Amino acid sequence: MPFISKDWRSPGEEWVKTEEGWEKKKILECGRQGTQQENMDTTTRCGSLGSFSTEQISFSGRWLEEEDKENLMTDSLALQEFHSKKSGVDGAIQPHCHITIKCTREIAGFNGLSDALKRLDFRSAVHDVRRFNYICKLLDLLITQKLTMLSGCAQKVLFNMLEEVAYQVSASQQNIHMLNKLLHQLRVMTDCACWGRPLGSTLLWEQHLRTINRILSIANHIQIREPGDDVFPKLQNLPEECVREVLLRLADHKDLESSGKAYSVMQRLVDEQRIWRELCRFHFTPQQIGFVLQSCPPQTDWQRIYHKLRKSFGLREEYAEMIQLCRNCRCLFWKSIGHPCIADQDPEFQEKLEDVDKSSLHVPIPPQAFLKFFSL
């Protein structure tokens, strides 16, 4: 679908009809690998979630009404042709998103959140264990603070990502508490209606509610499976020193408390002062710890000190991988994947950067700072 307008400032966009609706061709190129991977995983998902009904696990008709399915059959040929043309391109397209940081008279400082989430391929990044916590924190901020401010397209992308998180948690049987937390916050936000209904399109919110019901159904069917007898060694077979090293690498006090309930040896180790002392040193600075120790008796419980520090200063946020901002080309990208930078393509630009510290050119962007780039 070409851009048709008398305005000479045409963006030159081309649109392709997908199963989820019309999509910009440029954005579709960025998420091409993720779409192919999702199609490969469809059979696995359906097999692991065999207890669901056909309506709950249907991918082809997920966001389509009956009257649109006939149009999809004709447009699917065009979509296949588009993918076949792109398959000939050498190398994979690195997920990245150029943003406008400063407004000028010629350039409006507007960045679309939905386009950025698609260009950075957040939906496929959910399946990367290094990026999972970062994405869940971003979803947490969007649901609790920005849900009513998002556009219809951004809301749709948000619920798609949340559904992908549910599938990932169901398959890996990890981070179930994070999924339950997001779903609890989502229930609270959907109950906060304006004049009896959520703000926005009624038809769009009907689609959102169907997606939410699918996510809740996935979460309700998650069951922790015990490892088989052929899996060795089990946690009970590990020596106490190894179990202690495992506990020392947990950064969340809730995980420590849950571990103590699961195994008697772990309960005894969790009660050790060293576990909580190292947890305090990980989350807080020596100055913060010293400030709290001044008001405590000489023989103090480090677990109690940790909770005082947590309530006073908050916990440190640590992510295995974060979104990076390139100072050369004003581009957001994943550090492990990289991006096509102007510094790698222009020899003259490379000469200017010979005396510059390379590590300072890429700035890590936490989830709170990531949302500030967009008009919400």
| Full DSSP string of 109-168 | ----HHHHHHHTTHHHHTT-HHHHHHHHHHHHHIIIIIGGGS-HHHHHHHHHHHHHHHHH
Looking at domain 235-313, does it have CATH number 1.20.1280?
yes
116-135: pLDDT as tens digits: 999 999 999 999 999 999 99
Residues 78-96 have a mean pLDDT of: 52
Residues 251/276, Cβ–Cβ less than 8 Å? no
Token reading at 260: 């103590």
Confidence of residue 235 (pLDDT cuts 50, 70, 90): confident
31-56: pLDDT as tens digits: 554 444 444 454 445 444 444 443 44
Rank 53-67, 70-84, 331-345 by mean pLDDT and report only the highest.
331-345
Q: Which residues contact 158 (CB under 8 A, 6 or more apart)?
A: 139, 142, 143, 147, 150
- Delimiting residues of CATH 1.20.1280 domain(s) in the chain: 235-313
195 Rama class: left (phi>0) / alpha (psi -120 to 50) / beta = left
Q: Provide the pLDDT for residue 197.
A: 58
Asked if pLDDT for residue 194 goes beyond 70, the answer is no
Rounded CA gap, 178 and 193, in Å? 25
Q: Which residues contact 308 (CB under 8 A, 6 or more apart)?
A: 292
Q: What is this structure's pTM?
A: 0.77
Confidence of residue 306 (pLDDT cuts 50, 70, 90): very high
DSSP assignment letter at 194: B
Helix, strand, coil: what percent of the chain each, to 5? 55, 5, 35
Token reading at 179: 């999924």
Closest CA to 124 of 94, 162, 164, 83: 164
Q: Provide the pLDDT for residue 268.
A: 93
